[in-house]
Amino acid sequence: MNKKQLAEAIALETGLSKIEARKSLDAFIGIVSKTLSEGDRIAISGFGTFSVEKKSARMGRDPRNGSPIKIAARNVVKFRPGVELSERIK
């Protein structure tokens, strides 16, 4: 499912117009992005938790020739599914 299909599904489920559903989805994505970029986490009961983890710099290997390369430190987004979501997927 892509973003357009998700907005259409939200519109069908809630009775909103497709434009209103798209605006709501865009607002959700914007809020999540802003919150995570500030270093906070987002916990949605029954769904899961979004958080940011800092990965430290490390040494790796170039798969083409095996020479060592330095991998820079970076932040990565983590998602931990909630219990209800995990049970629905089983």
* Boundaries of every domain in the chain: 1-38, 41-90
pLDDT along the chain (90 residues), means of 10: 96 95 96 94 95 95 93 95 92
Listing DSSP states for 1-65 in one string gives --HHHHHHHHHHHH---HHHHHHHHHHHHHHHHHHHHTT--EEETTTEEEEEEEEPPEEEE-TTT
pTM for this prediction: 0.77
Topology of domain 41-90, CATH: HU Protein; Chain A (4.10.520)
Q: C-alpha 35: how far from its chain's center?
A: 12
